[in-house]
Structure 1
């Protein structure tokens, strides 16, 4: 490597250490100094304002189309000894800084080090990582093709990279119950939150921290022990708690063979009919449950399972009496091949059928 090349590389190394403002100032200074020197040596064809910026960029970046070139010996010396070497150094420094910035941003994103709070709204947050269970959870979320299209954010404590960078945002934190985890994942602006930490204690701590933020999101937690779920319900009755039903499922499958398949199908958005819910518009005048069942089956090939008054579904009634009144604002739980939205139902027609 020649001394001149080593000199340029050393200059470029120092340029990379500069901040963007100083680098821009040096580039402007080089641009103006080059114009001054060419003007000084009577390169009138190159220093016209509508020509010079093009000549400078093409020459300094060493693209060199050849359509413009200095006419005097002094002008050629300025180009070869000042404009080209300086341009190479400055352009390389700018490209190098930009590349470094983009690579670092990508690495931070993959490592979960970014603050996503300003980018997110009405999103879904998953707190906790279990290789198989969480991966399956993500597949089921995106398998619901007619779901409300919400961004999904995964928050973990493990040292890992984003397991699904094409579809989800990713945050790595030291503690799921920390302010850092809540702030960077935009908990207060989330619409849905799923909490399934490494153990029940961590899940409970994370749930209490999330509730304390005042978020209006629907929160769902998974516990191994019923006592921990009951404890959380005492402090946060609107949180939906799930516990393992393995024992109940074993007994039901033994007494009614195939019961586990029914349960799995109801929860699987990837194939076959699945259980969904929708909220009835507040202006709906009402009908009885038997009319609702008939309408859903006849017009949407969906099977109505039950209703609930609360948006969180704590007062769910499965298979209510035929004359049970269904009114605006209630939740309807049903089974269908695809999710139905309130806009998919002709509520006026349903009202007429109820008369």
Structure 2
């Protein structure tokens, strides 16, 4: 039995390889020729009702697909011989070949996506992550999905390592030799992304990836993580709209040592997966100026949110934390608050606050 199983496996593998090598033109041509010759032979033997043009195609289809309803079949001895030695074997073989080709195409498409070779350049409004760091990237994806609310966006993960999609149920996957190659940036549709996160294997790769993304997308918000401040400064010098994050692990450890329990505050403020977390919103450009105190009360009483910071710009050095109650908050300013969920600026009654 094991020997027979081995022989059958080899035969099946060879047949699959042969079928895979056939082009669709060849398969369809063979099917048309077989259909035509089958019809011609049935008509040639004579005396067969199935030779009618209205019936033969139906008879051929039910025979080739092995359905065989039995409502139409050869009635003469010669017709049965033709059906037995030509129509049935050839039709079934060709139908099996077509099914195998269809399965092969779907399988190749799925494998191509799994290997990171697919093209997603038609995507838009999505999120791109440049770089793979095992558990850290998985947590990043979880936090992105957790913080989206009702605004669900596709995530495209890009890497420069030989691997398959590590999170096929959550992200689309693009792989190339480097994170800043034109091919990778094109297939990941970086030009159409809403924001891009660059987190390479080292600061050099992160910088190259961030600058590559900035070169093809002039409107996306680009965020990069560095170990050294000098690389963050270099990115800001070449791309002022990029947001560079530098490791704050030392500062966090000192704060936790001086104020025990601070780590849980830091974790919850940044986590989209547990409890209230930090969000931001931009004051509508048609809103009238209001006071920080009135806005603080509005957010707390009607939205269960705590306002703790305001800024005139998104990335400048003008952030004010714990502003005075009579400080003015005007159109276009950015608010930072802690809340169970993101707040749509349209849900705030700006005229009433004024």
Q: Same fold (TM over 0.5)?
A: yes
Whether 1:294 aligns to 2:297 is yes
| Aligned-residue offset at 1:15 | 4.9
Structure-1 residue corresponding to 2:45:
41
Structure-2 residue corresponding to 1:130:
133
Q: Distance between the aligned counterparts of 2:316 and 2:46, measured in 1?
A: 83
Structure-1 residue corresponding to 2:348:
346
TM-score relative to the length of structure 1: 0.91
Q: Distance between the aligned counterparts of 1:186 and 1:336, measured in 2?
A: 32
Q: Secondary structure at the match of 1:322?
A: coil
Structure-2 residue corresponding to 1:150:
153
| Aligned-residue offset at 1:215 | 3.4
- In structure 2, stretches of 5+ residues that fail to align are 5-9
Whether 1:24 aligns to 2:35 is no
TM-score relative to the length of structure 2: 0.91
Q: Distance between the aligned counterparts of 2:320 and 2:158, measured in 1?
A: 34
Cα deviations by residue, 1:85-120 (Å, 9 ceiling, x for unpaired): 1112211211111222211211111111111112x1
Whether 1:276 aligns to 2:298 is no
- In structure 1, stretches of 5+ residues that fail to align are none
| Aligned-residue offset at 1:78 | 1.4
Picking from 164, 167, 172, the partner of 1:164 is: 167
| Aligned-residue offset at 1:66 | 2.0
Q: Secondary structure at the match of 1:46?
A: helix
Q: Distance between the aligned counterparts of 1:239 and 1:9, measured in 2?
A: 53
| Aligned-residue offset at 1:43 | 4.9
Whether 1:322 aligns to 2:325 is yes
CA contact (8 A) 2:129 2:155 kept: yes
CA contact (8 A) 2:130 2:197 kept: yes
Pick closer, same or farther for the CA change 1:265–1:21 going to 2, 3 Å: same
Residues 195-210 of structure 1: pairs in structure 2 closer than 5 A: 195-210=198-213
| Aligned-residue offset at 1:286 | 2.6
Residues 83-98 of structure 1: pairs in structure 2 closer than 5 A: 83-98=87-102
Query: Relative to structure 2, which stretch is displaced further, 251-260 or 332-341?
Result: 251-260
Whether 1:304 aligns to 2:307 is yes
Query: Relative to structure 2, which stretch is displaced further, 30-39 or 44-53?
Result: 44-53
Picking from 227, 231, 234, the partner of 1:231 is: 234
Structure-2 residue corresponding to 1:58:
62
When the two chains are superposed, the root-mean-square deviation of aligned CA atoms in Å is 2.3
Picking from 215, 220, 223, the partner of 1:220 is: 223
Whether 1:102 aligns to 2:135 is no
Q: How many residues align?
A: 346
Q: Distance between the aligned counterparts of 1:346 and 1:52, measured in 2?
A: 70
CA contact (8 A) 1:147 1:339 kept: no
CA contact (8 A) 1:128 1:196 kept: yes
